[in-house]
Structure 1
Amino acid sequence: MSQQRMTGTQAPGQIGLPPVLQRPDLPVRARLTPGSAVLLWVIRPSWLWRRELVALVVVVGLAAAGWLGRGWPGAVAAPVALVVAVAVVPWSRRRSGRVWRRARLRRHWDRAMRFCALTTVNDRIPRIKRDRRVPAGDRLLVRIPRGATADELEAERERVAAVMRVREVRVTRDMDRADLAHVDVVRNDPFANPRDPNVSLPIPWPWAGGGQRSLGDPVPLAVDDMGDTVSVRLPGKNMLIGGEPESGKSAALSILLAAAALDPAARIWGWDAKRVELALWRPVMERVVYNDIDAGIGQLEDLIKEMDARYELLESSGRRVLRPSEAPVIVAAIDEMRFFTANTDKKAAKHFNALGEDLTARGRAALIVELAATQKPGGDVVPTGWRDLMALRLAMRCNTRDASDTILGAGMASAGFSAADIDRRTRGVGWLHSEGNRPRRIKSFYIGDNEIRDIVAKGAALRRLVGGEGWV
């Protein structure tokens, strides 16, 4: 079949009107026979409509049975009673809705695969094995047919999205099996406010109303753009957060500090150049310095001494990693990193950067977690060597692609992961890059000042109960 069948255009010299119905080319290598034509144009489409056809047969059968029993009144009453029962009973309504939605999804997927020429020589296409409805659309597990690859499907994702008439299609090859691919069909933006696009609605933090927590558990940080909760494990990790003012950077940092506050064993050290970002957390913080570069260096040196003492304990016990029962997790929160790393006192800034990089490089096994946040990220603010040691990086809205790459890594913006493209109206939205994985577009949870005060009060009470005895 020629391209004009798909586009509806008329080839030069062709007589008559172009075809009205768009149909994909047939991947056949021989002349069509009556049997193959029936298979391609009757049996295969009928199979895609099999659920609807079965429902139609049931309705017609009930109508025929009713007509035989009571004539025309029965022929009308029987199918109407079935339809009403299906529509009224909650279980059957939900079940039938899911069945027909899946049937419609598979028909659209089949059409997209054929229009995008993703068929093999024997007319096989990537088939949906499993699908799941999420707030932003559908998540699919797709089996790749023999003779094809997941890369071919990924290369055609834009055309697939256009044929399916959806916002976006994403394809990720399964890590364990090359014949499987994970496909996200994005139909809408779950971060958008349907009532007022100029107002970004906050997402409540799931732990805000709870009690005691442990940093050993995954901390819910955000919701990704498919509507799933994104959690992070802090012990053994370090995190860099960057973004423009009013982008939601402080809100993301507050989530992690709140988790540390609700763990009575956690110790929180702070560096706050503005004196206000960490002010509400002061009752649960062990130590804090403000806009004093020398005091910041001194506190960092004390933390490195603590780290060295923990390594001496490991050496004496013949082990490489501390157990939580032997030493608490120390959370080192640096807000407004720029003041310390790009200070006007160049010598002091260089010293601070060297200490910070050493702490990040060696602190993991000593249960020291570093959380660094900065506005207007740039190469002079976030040293590359220090950034590369951060396992978790969160880029909120940035003004330039270079600033986004400063947080996520060189080349990420060119690969399609740019925080410079984030809408200014959507506060808290950013790209989260965790070690080895592709960045994920997320929106962080939000806790207000009153919720922070409640969390701090709980954290302070828990610390008074625990007392901190027995720690290094």
Structure 2
Amino acid sequence: MGLPPVRQRPDLPVRARLTPGSAVMLWVVRPLWLWRREVVAAWVLAGVALAGWGRLGWPGAAGAPVGLAGGLVAVPWSRRWLARCWRRGRLRRRWDQAARFAGLTTVNDRIPRIVRHRSVPAGDRLLVRVPRGAVVAELDDERGRVAAVLRVREVRVAQDVDRADLAHVDIVRRDPFANPDDPAVSLPIPWPWAGGAQRNLHRDGVPLGVDDMGDPVTVRLPGKNLLIGGEPEAGKSVALSLLLAAAALDPYAQIWGWDAKRVELALWRPVLTRIAYTNIDEAIAQKEDLIKEMDRRYDLLASAGRRVLRPEDGPVILAATDELRFYSAHENKAAREHFNALGTDLVARGRAARIVAVEATQRPSGDVVPTGWRDLMAVRWAMRCTTPDASDTILGRGMASAGYSATDIDIRTRGVGWLHAEGTHPRKIKSFYLDDHDIRSIVARGAALRRLVAGDEWI
């Protein structure tokens, strides 16, 4: 019966009968060719141990390459470059093996090839080109087998939006949100702008968090409206504070606030232009004043014969509402309907006027935010939810069944949610964190910046 082979090898298709020459090519030359990057990089890295011998009197023919290798390893940037070369060579060799074991080889012995590789905190991000005669869907169907051969947590495949032969592949090796010391405690991630340097919302993208591969996630506020929803203690207020902090660090930006709890925006009072609390009439009056400012800007564009608002025409206005439900589902029906009509108008027409609406609420269903209002929000951020329907009310219908459900978020990981920006698939991200000390420091810096530009006509 014979014994099983000591080493597993994938089946390699051959067009003709296997000859001694083709066997050598398949089982000797090909593996050595795949090993070439790792062997060269490992040889140079080993030069750090052999370099001393070369300096101690090795013959020139032997000492020169050894000394060169030691010199390359002695320089930090070249050492890092060599280490990256070794890792990339190892990944390409193992990818070749995984693709063949998964049966992704074409009739002429071609497999999906790595075009671009980038290391990220959670693993690797690849751009892969499928060979002629293959489609990205085949790679997507076999991602489980590829992950098993690579011995990683998960492999994700997404087709490129511009080219059908390219696939974006994420090789997930570890969870960037996990705390290695205590998995039950989720560590906060400091906000990169917490130092308080001046910012410009017209130009700078606001850092919101890191995605589940460890890459930073930013969003440009002008022209956007954001909806933040989720269960209590899921991290909505922290996410809202990042946008408020970014606006505070722009001395020309204005912040108009609606705070039903009277505490979430309390620390931001020194940099707020307007604030309304639990009085529904005051909240409506403030919304009407903001719409008047929006109409003034459109009158300016009409008189100037332009369609685009320039930065010098007016600052970015951040219209932030915490606990939107208090206003949009108010017990006074007439006031509630008036407020909702104003909110829908502001979201529908305010984007071109550089008015950014940010609404934070618990479970923004149809009775909390009118559907017409909610559907105009270009950016959705769903924190932890208890039901798929609640998740879909934030991200959009059908997202939970497509695999983007906020119900799967661990209750211990505050600040983790699905971010769905227009034109992209939802991305699971963990928001940066600002504590009260950080907020006070940013507010003090923002107030000082506003005093410096107090003579400007915008202020």
CA deviation map 1:175-225 (0-9, x unaligned):
333333222111101111111112211111111113221111111111112
SS at match of 1:152: helix
Q: CA deviation at 1:21?
A: 3.8
Amino acid in the other structure paired with 1:385:
G
Matched residue count: 450
**1:383 equivalent in alignment to 2:370:** yes
**2:196–2:441 Cα contact (<8 Å) kept:** no
**2:363–2:394 Cα contact (<8 Å) kept:** no
SS at match of 2:311: coil
Q: CA deviation at 1:133?
A: 1.3
**In structure 1, distance between residues paired with 2:38 and 2:271:** 61
The corresponding residue for 1:461 is: 448
**1:416 equivalent in alignment to 2:416:** no
5+ unaligned residues in a row in structure 1: which ranges? 1-14
CA deviation map 1:100-159 (0-9, x unaligned):
222221121111101111111101011112212111111112222121122322232222
Q: CA deviation at 1:328?
A: 1.4
SS at match of 2:258: strand
The corresponding residue for 1:275 is: 262
Amino acid in the other structure paired with 2:192:
P
Q: CA deviation at 1:93?
A: 4.2
The corresponding residue for 1:140 is: 126
Amino acid in the other structure paired with 1:149:
V
Match of residue 300, structure 1, among 287, 300, 309? 287
**2:363–2:393 Cα contact (<8 Å) kept:** no
The share of aligned pairs that are identical, in percent, is: 73
Q: Map residues 33-432 of structure 1 onto 2, 5 A cutoff.
A: 33-53=19-39, 90=76, 93-216=79-202, 217-432=204-419
5+ unaligned residues in a row in structure 2: which ranges? none
**In structure 1, distance between residues paired with 2:275 and 2:7:** 70
Amino acid in the other structure paired with 2:188:
P
RMSD: 2.9
SS at match of 2:131: coil
Q: TM-score scaled to structure 1, two decimals?
A: 0.87
Q: TM-score scaled to structure 2, two decimals?
A: 0.90
**In structure 2, distance between residues paired with 1:285 and 1:406:** 30
**In structure 2, distance between residues paired with 1:337 and 1:81:** 68
**2:328–2:340 Cα contact (<8 Å) kept:** yes
**2:113–2:129 Cα contact (<8 Å) kept:** yes
**In structure 1, distance between residues paired with 2:254 and 2:42:** 66
**2:364–2:394 Cα contact (<8 Å) kept:** yes
**In structure 2, distance between residues paired with 1:41 and 1:251:** 56
Amino acid in the other structure paired with 2:339:
F
**In structure 1, distance between residues paired with 2:68 and 2:106:** 42
SS at match of 1:280: helix
**2:41–2:83 Cα contact (<8 Å) kept:** no
Q: CA deviation at 1:321?
A: 2.2
**1:382–1:406 Cα contact (<8 Å) kept:** no
**In structure 2, distance between residues paired with 1:448 and 1:101:** 38
**In structure 2, distance between residues paired with 1:198 and 1:77:** 54
Amino acid in the other structure paired with 1:396:
M
**1:197–1:425 Cα contact (<8 Å) kept:** no
Amino acid in the other structure paired with 1:343:
H
